[in-house]
Amino acid sequence: MKIWLKYLIAALVGSAIALVLPASDAGASKVLSTIFGIAVHVGRYALIPLVFFSLPVAVFELNEDREFWKDLGRAALFLVISVLAFTLLGVLGAAIFHPARIPLVADSAAAIPVPGVAQYLDAIFPSSVFATLIQGDYLLPVCLLSVFLGLAFSHERALTKPAILVFDALSRAFYHINAVFAEFLGILIIGVSAWSVFELRSALSGDYYRPLLLVVGVETLVMALVIVPLALFLLLDRKNPYRYLYAILGPAIAGLMSGDAYFPLGSLMKHVRESLGVRRRASALALPLAAIFGRAGTVLVTATTFVVVLASYSDLGLSAGTLLWILGAAPLVTLLLGTIPGTGTMTALVALSALYGRGFENGYLIAVPVALPLSAAGAFLDIIWAGVVSLVLARREGYAKEREARFFI
């Protein structure tokens, strides 16, 4: 059975469980929330060691080909442009569809503290490099350490060759461990989707959030079915772009049901290599970069939600200057997500509200009841776009081999 079909069946089973439970059952809510947290942690279990042992080897191999800095620059430019473009589309979506204002009655959660710059830097550069691996949840510090190791391997090659062989062997070992977890993810998605659908029912029980969720849903479908395929068609070989989306459908389903960008990332690494034919030296660099700095789906949903939330506080509408500020601030906020373990839209909204100031620091609170559905839409597009970035960059460097759709996993 194809992996995407396993994930889809699991999502349907979990959704059915959520639909038969009473929406007001506090006990069921607590149990599903606990199962969700455990499932997400298990889904991330093999991700950090896989990245840590694969990325240094990829950096070394690319450096040997004299391609590392060029590939890194091209990936960074591609990700920056895509984040800016998705931000613009998110603001335009809110302006065009103009969802109804959300009444200022949602104070259902305590204020979320916003980490300062010092805390972010401390997460990126802990007191010891070993703390980078012990923390376990933060992908950016692990990637920085891995890049440093890969570049160090390029010096005194005769002396570092044993270390390279060890990292290469462990990379392959953890890839196979990750492959097992990717298959096992189908079972976890039952619990993940049960909690997500249960939360969605609560969000839809009132009329306040339906316009916002409808707009975000329409944006997500348009991006996934029109804009992203069009980008693939133009950037690649002008063939049917939907076959590439089909190749990463499984991880996209996992991202949609979890709302967590790291939960399906290990599965995406398997799909990108075995279905899209992307070599390790390309995917091991592009996928972590996209998961850290290329959260295009998250920034699109964040921009749309922030426009709606901000408009809910004012009867005067939003000025052109405010919209331009959002276009500049939202992409910067997504850079902070690299030091946050997998969370998306809500974290970005908290930071954006703090940056905006003017008494609006806690404005994000009215979006708290729909945090999970919003994050789900963002993570769904994040995973799709990470796969697209990996494929496009690998094809341009000759690091991907075309595979027939019937051989997709």
Q: Give the confidence band of 315 by pLDDT, cuts at 50, 70, 90.
A: low
Looking at residues 339-347, what average pLDDT do you find? 70
Which range of 82-91, 115-124, 366-375 scores highest in mean pLDDT? It is 82-91
With 0-12 / 13-18 / 19 or more C-beta atoms within 10 angstroms meaning exposed / middle / buried, residue 321 is: exposed
Model confidence at 105: pLDDT above 60: no
Percent of the chain with pLDDT over 70: 91
Q: Pick from 377, 323, 333, 83: which is nearest to 212 by CA?
A: 377
Say what the pTM is.
0.89
Residues in Cβ contact with 97 at an 8 Å cutoff, skipping those fewer than 6 apart = 215, 218
Model confidence at 369: pLDDT above 70: yes
Model confidence at 278: pLDDT above 70: yes
- pLDDT tens by residue, 132-166: 777 656 788 888 889 999 999 888 777 888 889 99
Percent of the chain with pLDDT over 90: 25
Q: Which domain holds residue 119?
A: 3-407
Q: Give the confidence band of 124 by pLDDT, cuts at 50, 70, 90.
A: confident
| Residue 236: CATH number of its domain | 1.10.3860.10
Model confidence at 84: pLDDT above 80: yes
Q: Give the confidence band of 344 by pLDDT, cuts at 50, 70, 90.
A: confident
For residues 261 and 379, the answer to whether their CB atoms sit within 8 Å is yes
> What does the alpha-carbon distance between residue 346 and residue 364 come to, in Å, rounded to a whole number?
8
DSSP string spanning 106-171?
---SPPPPPP-HHHHHHHHS-SSHHHHHHH-S-HHHHHHHHHHHHHHHTSSHHHHHHHHHHHHHHH
Looking at residues 288-307, what average pLDDT do you find? 89
Q: What is the DSSP letter of 314?
A: -
Q: Pick from 241, 286, 204, 227: which is nearest to 85 by CA?
A: 227
H helix count then E strand count, the chain: 18, 0
Structure confidence at residue 107 (pLDDT):
47
- pLDDT tens by residue, 231-251: 989 888 778 889 999 999 999
> What does the alpha-carbon distance between residue 19 and residue 39 come to, in Å, rounded to a whole number?
20
65-69, 134-138, 178-182, 380-384: least confident range: 134-138
**Mean of per-residue pLDDT scores for the chain:** 84
Structure confidence at residue 119 (pLDDT):
65
Task: Please tell me the total count of domains within the chain.
Answer: 1
Q: Give the confidence band of 102 by pLDDT, cuts at 50, 70, 90.
A: confident
